[in-house]
Amino acid sequence: MKQKRKFPKFIFNIFLFTFSVMILTAVRPCFADDFDNLKFIDINNPFINKTPIAIPQFTSVENNSELKKIITEGTSYLRYLFKFTSYFEIIEEDFAPEGITGSEIDFEKRKKNSELLVTSALYYNNGILEMELRLFDILKKDLITGKRYKGKKEDLKKMLRRFASEVMEELFGNKGLFESRLAFVSDSSGEKEIYSSDFDGSNISKLTSDKSIAISPSWSYDNNWIAYTSYKRGIPEIYVKSLKGGKGYIISQGRLNITPEWLPGKFALAAVMSINKDPDIFILTGKGEMLKTAAKGWGIDVSPSFSPDGAKMAFVSGRRGSPQIYIKNFDTNKIQRLTFEGNYNTSPAWSPSGDYISYVGMTKEDGINIYLIRPDGTGLRQLTTGPGDNEEPSWSPDGSLIAFTSTRSGKKKIYMMTRFGNDQRILISNMAGNQSDPAWSR
């Protein structure tokens, strides 16, 4: 008989504690008339199969010994990028690929291996790298996109990320996540500080040195600002940090200032502050000037998350006893309860397309896990299971992946999965201590 998991005492205190304390030239532009020729992949299908894409070893059009390392590194990195998305099955061909002769492709011969094919042509002269990359739809015998890039050899990965983004836009309708960044919390230095990394957890840099507790990072709509909560001056206050080296701001009204969340398209944010008896949600400018009250009522209101158009806000409230997720419509000022399953639901995160809200729920049987639900309350789906607690979901800017915090390995680490819970894997594994509070840039 399965033993039911008891609620740890500290879990009941979590809810209370939160409130108290280069150059680019298109080879072939895409016009509206080309729509029928494009191959789109529906990431909204939870049962989607991985699309096989052949990425042969890069090809040099000149006999240049300096290109050998670039070819090896470039081929490996482009395969890595597409594999990272979880939507492709990578077909590797490290020798002369069958069905390709120069610029000619035998589509019938290619059909047995893959549905998509990447071809390449690299030039390197006087320190300048030129690269031409093309993506073909094998089944339709059609060129989907072709791009030419030029830069220094040190720009290789940057050019390949740009190409991968172009491919994602053709196949999925948006540029994907390859040029995005991730903010998160780590205690690897002995204190909780905010860090940032590339989309895949690489190239980590430290954003704060508060030597205290810094949590809850949030990116502005233009990715030029980070807002976060810090206990640097003893009480929780919101710091607004410029990533361009400009002036920052401190938002502090009352003894509680937490969980900042930027409004879409505006230099303004929502924050939880204890101006009144209970913590409520307010809208402020990025400088901390009060604009309006977003959610106020009996009980505690926290964890704001905006729909992509900013017209609605999901948030957590204890106004009816246990913490549940509600949605406020700013046009009508009406508030409706979203979650009814379970007695503890928190941390809503609205998807970039607005079709889903991920959140954290707790049950006696399964513990703390991440769920998915539509804004109208339908389509409820549990995304995580198994050992450990899974919480703090954050959507990639293209809406295809979700980063989250999990204790499945013992310590808190940041993991990722597809929007429907597939391919769960660790995202940041090369840092000591605990990592948590992931926040993907816009």
> Please, what are the domains in the chain?
24-172 (3.40.50.10070), 180-440 (2.120.10.30)
pTM: 0.87
Question: Which tokens belong to 97?
Answer: 């690929």
Spatial distance between the Cα atoms of 72 and 2, rounded to a whole number of angstroms: 51
Q: Do 281 and 272 meet the contact criterion of CB atoms below 8 Å apart?
A: yes
The separation between CA 436 and the C-alpha centre of its own chain, rounded to angstroms, equals 14
Which pLDDT belongs to residue 12?
Answer: 35
Q: Do 391 and 407 meet the contact criterion of CB atoms below 8 Å apart?
A: no
Burial class (CB in 10 A: 0-12, 13-18, 19+), 310: middle
Lowest mean pLDDT, pick from 66-70, 288-292, 378-382: 66-70
pLDDT tens digit sequence for 151-208: 999 999 999 999 999 999 999 888 889 999 999 999 999 999 999 999 999 999 999 9
Where does 86-192 show beta strands of DSSP type E? Answer: 88-93, 100-101, 104-105, 116-125, 128-137, 142-152, 181-186
Q: Do 282 and 292 meet the contact criterion of CB atoms below 8 Å apart?
A: yes
DSSP string of 194-255, one letter each residue: EEEEETTS-S-EE----SSBEEEEEE-TTSSEEEEEE-TTSS-EEEEEETTS---EEE--SS
Which pLDDT belongs to residue 47?
Answer: 61
Integer CA distances (angstroms), 257 to 73, 74, 144, in order:
47, 46, 49
Question: Which tokens belong to 337?
Answer: 């309860």
Q: Taking residues 7-26, report their average pLDDT.
A: 35
pLDDT tens digit sequence for 209-246: 999 999 999 999 999 999 999 999 999 999 999 999 88
